[in-house]
Amino acid sequence: MRLNLFGAEVSVKFWHGLTDIDNVGGQLITETRKVTACKIGEQEPVFAVCNPKDQFCKSTGRKIAFAKALSKTTFSKVDREQLWIGYFNRIKG
């Protein structure tokens, strides 16, 4: 998806899947888990790993992964707020 940031477009990509990798985004994983990944622009993807006791929800995974990805960017607080507004407007309509 492309989000508008004061006239400039920011590319945001999400994908969901399963992992049994030992280390995902710094988290030690010992069994197969469902994950959501988010990539903003050219940065490395960031992962939200679902606890096996929780029900996997793509929407929740996207929000967590997006928040983690935004925290690793150099965007200002105002820019991050605008990206959240754009994200919520995009998923509503």
Q: Is residue 86 part of a domain?
A: no
Q: How many domains does the chain have?
A: 1
Q: Is residue 91 part of a domain?
A: no
Statement: residue 11 has pLDDT above 90: yes
Is 0.75 surpassed by the pTM of this model?
A: yes
Q: Which domain holds residue 63?
A: 2-80
Identify the pLDDT of residue 58.
Answer: 94
Q: Is residue 87 part of a domain?
A: no
Statement: residue 56 has pLDDT above 90: yes
Q: Is residue 19 part of a domain?
A: yes
What value does the mean pLDDT take over residues 43-53?
89
Q: Is residue 64 part of a domain?
A: yes
Statement: residue 12 has pLDDT above 90: yes
21-45 pLDDT per residue, tens: 666 666 666 678 899 999 999 999 9
Q: Is residue 59 part of a domain?
A: yes
Q: Is residue 10 part of a domain?
A: yes
**Using alpha carbons only, what angle is made at residue 15 by residues 67 and 87, rounded to the nearest 5 degrees?**
45
